[in-house]
Amino acid sequence: MKGEILPPMSARMHVRPAGWRFGVKLWLPLFLLWLLLIPLLLVALPVLFAASLIFRFSLWRSLKAANGVLAASRGSEVEVDNRASRIFIKLD
Amino acid sequence: MNQDRRQILDLLAEGKITSEEAERLIAAVEKSDAPQSRAGGAVKYLRVLVDADDPNDGPTKVNVRVPMQLLRAGVKLTGVIPDRAREQVNEAMRKEGIAFDINKLTPDNLEEMIEQLRDLTVDVDNASAKVRVFCE
């Protein structure tokens, strides 16, 4: 796990809403979300750069740390299961 | 007992080496074994398991697995907090009665803490819920 540099590329979800007999299994391609966010990030870069000068923080270090948090979230798992409903999310 | 130690003790028993030499050799063997055992027992995830009996929803199970790497990345993120904001965080914590200095939260300190977490297990057990927090 050490050395992960890429954010989670996909997520697995199992959802069984209350009142449903069967659940739904979903595979979410998160890489498509990152691809959509890259142009937005490019547009936001000048604003972030200006903010970094005003509030005196390192933009490069901030982006690196934010990416680090995203990358480190790979392998996270949350499952809540009760009689009425179930939800399971895993970031891969 | 591993093979290396047995061989050293055999040599000592046969009188081929002195007790001082045996001691040095065993120390060397222990030193070479140490990194392997540490790597094998590295803490990778923080697990939270909740087994509750909810009056409305019935038996409820919660299973959360958080990578330790996320904790490390979070600490690195604190490194980019501007000084002024750090002071505000410390002040807010002090107001809540928590004597905590965010400036002392460094990756080195965190590694030490994670190392100690290896043996941590928190068990809360009452009539309506069981909570277990541990590292694996």
Q: Note the pLDDT of residue A1.
A: 47
Q: Note the pLDDT of residue B36.
A: 45
Q: Note the pLDDT of residue A5.
A: 79
**Which residue in A has a C-alpha nearest to residue B84's C-alpha?**
A55
DSSP A10: -
Q: Which residues of A touch B (CB under 8 A)?
A: 1-2, 4, 55-58, 61-62, 65-66, 68-69, 71-84
**Per-domain boundaries in chain B:** 3-40, 45-135
User: Do A68 and B73 make contact, defined as CB atoms within 8 angstroms?
Assistant: yes
Q: Note the pLDDT of residue A17.
A: 87
Q: Is the CB of residue B70 less than 8 Å away from at least one CB of chain A?
A: yes
Q: Note the pLDDT of residue B37.
A: 41
DSSP-derived secondary structure for chain B: --HHHHHHHHHHHTTSS-HHHHHHHHHHHHHHHHHHHHHHT---EEEEEEEEEETTTEEEEEEEEEEHHHHHHHHHHHTTS-HHHHHHHHHHHHHTT----GGG--HHHHHHHHHHHTT-EEEEE-SSEEEEEEE-
Q: Note the pLDDT of residue B106.
A: 79
- pLDDT by position in tens, chain B (length 136): 567 777 888 887 888 887 777 777 877 777 666 544 444 567 889 999 999 887 777 888 999 999 988 888 888 888 788 778 888 888 998 999 888 888 888 777 788 878 877 778 888 888 888 999 988 8
Residues of chain B contacting residue A2, judged by C-beta atoms under 8 Å apart: 69
Residues of chain B contacting residue A1, judged by C-beta atoms under 8 Å apart: 44, 67, 69
pLDDT tens by residue, A24-70 = 999 999 999 999 999 999 999 999 999 888 888 888 888 888 888 99
Give strand pairing partners of B62.
A80, B50
Q: Note the pLDDT of residue B4.
A: 76
User: Do B67 and A65 make contact, defined as CB atoms within 8 angstroms?
Assistant: no
CA distance A13 to chain B (A): 14
User: Do B80 and A56 make contact, defined as CB atoms within 8 angstroms?
Assistant: no
DSSP A40: H
Q: Note the pLDDT of residue B38.
A: 44
User: Do B59 and A68 make contact, defined as CB atoms within 8 angstroms?
Assistant: no
Q: Note the pLDDT of residue B39.
A: 46
Task: State the average pLDDT over residues A6-26.
Answer: 90
The answer to whether A92 and A8 are in contact (CB under 8 A) is yes
What are the C-alpha distances in Å from B132 to residues B4, B47, B115, B120? 40, 8, 19, 10
Q: Note the pLDDT of residue B7.
A: 80
